[in-house]
Structure formats: C-alpha cells, structure tokens
Amino acid sequence: MPVPVVALVGRPNVGKSTIFNRIINERLSIVEDTPGVTRDRIYSSASWLGREFRLIDTGGIDMSDEPMTVQIKNQAEIAIDEADVIVFIVNGQTGVTKQDEDVAKILYKTNKPVVLAINKADNPEQRQDIYDFYSLGFGEPNPISGSQGTGIGDLLDEIVKSFPTDNEREEDDTIKFSFIGRPNVGKSSLVNAILGDDRVIVSDMQGTTRDAIDTKYHDDLLDEDFTIIDTAGIRKRGKVYENTEKYSVLRALSAIDKSDVVCVVLNAEEGIREQDKKVAGYAHNAGKGVIILVNKWDTLKKDTHTMKDFEDEIRREFQYLSYSPIIFTSAVKNQRLDKIPELVVRVNENRERRIPSAILNDLLLRATSIAPAPVVKGKRLRIYYMTQVAVGPPTFVVFVNDSELLHFSYERFLINQLRETFDFEGTPIKILPRTRK
Ligand code: GDP
Ligand code: GDP
C-alpha cells in the first residue's frame, strides 16, 4: 500500500517552507524573506500519530524564469497531480489576496480533499480573524503559526482524517517497476521498446488521478501483469514544469516510492554521475528491489574487458548495491531488453521471499560456528533466535542479549550468510536487533 502524499500550496511567503520544516521536524530548507530562494529539500517522509505520509513543498519547485502567476498556477497543478491531500496555506495577517483567489480557482478543479490553513496566526486575536477565509470556499479554516508551532497538531489531525481509506485506493497485484535516471539516458526508449510488440496494454490510465500516467500491461511471454510507474520525462505531457530539475527529482522519488522494483538506468557513454548515486541510494534505503541497467551499450567500442571494467566500476561506486544485478542494454538495438521483465519478476520474488524460522535458526547456528559472535567491551554478543517479520524487503528480527553489541560488521556478516544461503538477489535485507533479557 503506497503511503499517502500531502502537498503544501499557496502563494510565495505565506510560510510553506516553515510549515514543511515543522512537519518533518528538521530544519533543512532555507526559510528566507526573499521569495524564490532555493530550498534544499521539497520532498520528505513524515508521520503523525503513527500514520506515515510523504510531504511535498510545491513552493520549492523553482520556476523563477516564469512569471509569478504561471509559477503559482503550476505549483497548484503539481499538487493536484501528485497529492492525495492538498494543504492550501494563506497568510492570516494579510487577509484574502488576489493570488490566494488564483490558487483557489485551480484547486476548485480537483475532487481531492483540500485543507485550508491560515498561517501567521501568532496570537489569539489573530485567530479570531480567520472568518474572512471562509470566502475561499474550502470550509473550516485552520489557524496555525508555522514559526511558533501552534495549531500544527490540529492541522495534522485534519490532514490525516482526509487520507484516502484503503477501499478508495485502487489496489492491484501487478508488479510495479520504474526506470529511474538522468534525462536522456534512454528511459522512454526502454519503456516504449518493452511495451512494443506482443505486450498488451491493459489500461493507459488518463485523467486527473495521481496514477494518471502509469501503464498497466500484461506480458504474454511471462504471463505476468506489470505496471510501469512513470517518471518525469518518460511520457512527456508538455507541461512547463516537467523540465525543472526539482520536479524531475521529486517525480523520481515518488516513482521509487510506488515501485516494487527500480531499474536505475545509467548511460554507458557518460558513466556514473553523482545524481545516479543519489537516486539509487534512495531506492536502497526505501527497501526497493534494485536492478542496474547500463543503457546505450551499443555506443561503446568494446573489447573483452569493457563489460568487466564497467561492472567493477559500478561495484566500486555503488557499494551498498552489491546485491543488484547489472545488465547492459541497448534500447535502439534491442539488446537484452527481454531480460528486463524477467529480472524484475525474479527480483520481486526475492523481495517477497519468506524463510521459515526453523531454517533461519539452522543458518544462525552454522554462522555463529564459522564466526563466533564478537566480544565488545568485555561482553560477548549472544544471539538467541532469528525470525523473519516482513517481506518487501525481507526483514529479520534477531533476538540478542544486548542489541548494542550487534555491530554493523557482524550484522553485515549475517546478511551475507543469508544471501549465500537463499536467493535474495536484487533486494535489500533488513536486520532489526532486539534485546531479550
Ligand atoms: P513560503 O514562501 O510560503 O515557503 O514562506 P516561508 O516559509 O519562506 O516564510 C516566509 C516568511 O514568513 C519567513 O520570513 C518566515 O519566517 C515567515 N513566517 C512563516 N511562518 C510564520 C508564522 O507563523 N508567523 C509569522 N509571523 N511569520 C511566519
Ligand atoms: P530519457 O530522457 O531518459 O527518457 O531518454 P530517451 O529515451 O528520450 O532517449 C534519449 C536519446 O537517446 C534519444 O535520442 C534516444 O534515441 C537515444 N537512445 C535511447 N536509448 C539508446 C540506446 O540504447 N542506444 C543509443 N545509441 N541511443 C539511445
């Protein structure tokens, strides 16, 4: 079940960035009086009362070469496209402005829930002045102060209440995968080639829903249903904001969140770049299956070492992805494209793999006899029992005498033992130590 997405919208300077930081509880974005200042982060996970969600600060999607009216319009449209719940923020100290009305007009077009927040209501008298804002037509205004933190809890209650219920969310059991990578690496060519011949597109969903451009199809050869999760730049919709860097990163992260398996696409001609490592790291941390795809393989002059050298470099640069299969493809020369859906299926199976506790504990016995648990500060780590508590990714709880004693290196040793014994290719594995007296 994908976590709900919440977007903050509103004209510049109403306090979106301040509220974003409040909600994610970190001070990462730069809050400044100058509108248009670039913000570090516009997308983050957050939670309230145990409910997880993703938060987008649409104000951080910089389109400063566009006129202000266009920027405000685009940001509101991004919120409509991307979010399950929209938080419309206005400034309680200025009353309703023309720009607020412009945002409202765009938000009228959506049938997604809109929660109205009146910011800068720093003191009680100001909280009386919120009635003006009923005129915007979004029901009860919620007075808050982003800078002081008042009213944020009530606002979050309101937001959480508006989350879609499980029934409203379309759930399906297709395998969801995505191609993530910098512009021009060949993502759309890969999608088009895969959707090409004998694969029937079940539905090419259009409209205003969040999944508007994801493509569901049936693969006859494998007899599997897939959904290709779209990222900006795959299906070019001709919207102005699609070319902005922040928006494409935002789309990439949100596509990763919705995927079971992520194909990180590198460009053979250009090698590995910093941005490739960032998105791959995000996919790994999010517990997604990861396949590394080196596309445009046809463009290289090759000798017997080329592939091996490239592979070595990938292993050096993406050390945390030592479990990921690597394939060398050409979207235009149709090289190894059939391997992609096959690998996606395999990695997805591995990510869903369950190992019975009895077998795990045999492995544990064997592992601890090969490499006895270490002594840390005079105290020996004792491992009592291991059990798998989740799939997607496979997650193991290890009961020990003191979880402080389970160091990273021994944890990695256990993970390697798991990988040697079972097929977990392509999937991250999580180990959760628990102290048991
Ligand atoms: P954004 O452009 O909508 O993201 O607005 P910012 O978060 O950058 O805030 C714009 C200005 O309003 C900054 O100077 C903030 O310090 C200030 N501000 C934000 N929230 C509040 C608030 O609750 N009360 C007051 N008085 N100022 C605030
Ligand atoms: P995207 O921005 O990642 O979606 O990249 P595109 O699929 O639009 O491809 C960018 C350019 O690279 C286009 O001109 C493609 O024809 C070309 N291209 C894509 N894949 C390959 C490939 O495997 N080999 C070669 N030589 N060109 C490719």
Question: Residue ranges of the domains in the chain?
Answer: 5-161, 175-351, 357-435
Which residues share a beta bridge with 86?
7, 114
pLDDT at residue 1 in the model: 60
Is the Cβ–Cβ distance between 323 and 425 less than 8 Å? yes
Query: If you take atom 6 of ligand 2, which residue's CA is the nearest one?
Result: 186
43 three-state secondary structure: strand
pLDDT at residue 37 in the model: 43
Query: If you take atom 20 of ligand 2, which residue's CA is the nearest one?
Result: 186
Q: How far is the CA of 79 from the centre of ligand 2 (A)?
A: 29
Q: What is the 3-state secondary structure (H, E, C) of 203-270?
A: EECCCCCCCCCCEEEEECCCCEEEEEECCCCCCCCCCHHHHCHHHHHHHHHHHHHHCCEEEEEEECCC
Q: Is 146 in the pocket of ligand 1 (CB under 6 A)?
A: yes
Query: If you take atom 25 of ligand 2, which residue's CA is the nearest one?
Result: 296
Q: How far is the CA of 343 from the centre of ligand 2 (A)?
A: 21
Q: How far is the CA of 29 from the centre of ligand 1 (A)?
A: 12
Instruction: Please give the distance of CA 108 from its chain centroid, rounded to a whole number.
Output: 28
Residue 330 alpha carbon, nearest atom of ligand 2: 23
CATH 3.40.50.300 fits 175-351, yes or no: yes
pLDDT at residue 205 in the model: 45
CATH architecture observed for domain 5-161: 3-Layer(aba) Sandwich (3.40)
Pocket of ligand 2 (CB under 6 A): 181, 183-189, 233-234, 295-296, 298-299, 330-332
pLDDT at residue 99 in the model: 93
pLDDT at residue 167 in the model: 64
pLDDT at residue 214 in the model: 79
Whose atoms come closest to the Cα of 299: which ligand? 2
Residue 144 alpha carbon, nearest atom of ligand 1: 23
Q: How far is the CA of 187 from the centre of ligand 2 (A)?
A: 7
The tokens of 108 are what? 């009228």
Whose atoms come closest to the Cα of 18: which ligand? 1
Closest Cα partner for 229 from 177, 173, 189, 280?
177
Matching fold, domains 5-161 and 175-351: yes
Closest Cα partner for 1 from 164, 232, 234?
164
Mutate to test the pocket of ligand 2, among 332, 334, 339, 340 (most ligand atoms within 8 A of CB): 332
What residues have CB less than 8 Å from 158, skipping those under 6 apart? 115, 142
pLDDT at residue 300 in the model: 92
Residue 59 alpha carbon, nearest atom of ligand 1: 4
Using the 8-state DSSP alphabet, how is residue 135 labeled? G
pLDDT by residue for the chain (437 residues), tens only, comes to: 678 999 999 999 999 999 998 998 754 444 444 444 445 678 888 999 889 999 999 988 877 778 888 888 888 888 888 899 999 999 999 989 999 999 999 999 898 999 999 999 988 776 667 888 999 999 999 999 999 999 999 999 999 999 988 666 666 789 999 999 988 899 888 988 888 754 445 444 443 333 346 788 888 889 999 999 877 555 555 666 666 777 778 888 888 988 999 999 999 999 999 888 988 999 999 999 999 999 999 999 988 899 999 999 999 999 999 999 999 999 999 999 999 999 999 999 999 999 999 999 999 999 988 888 888 888 888 899 999 999 999 999 999 998 888 888 899 999 999 999 999 999 999 999 999 87
| CATH number assigned to the domain with residue range 357-435, chosen from the 4 options 3.10.20.30, 3.40.1260.10, 3.30.300.20, 3.90.320.10 | 3.30.300.20
Looking at the chain, the number of H-run helices and the number of E-run strands are: 12, 18
pLDDT at residue 106 in the model: 93
What pTM does this model have?
0.80
Q: How far is the CA of 210 from the centre of ligand 2 (A)?
A: 26
Using the 8-state DSSP alphabet, how is residue 393 labeled? T
The tokens of 276 are what? 């490739």
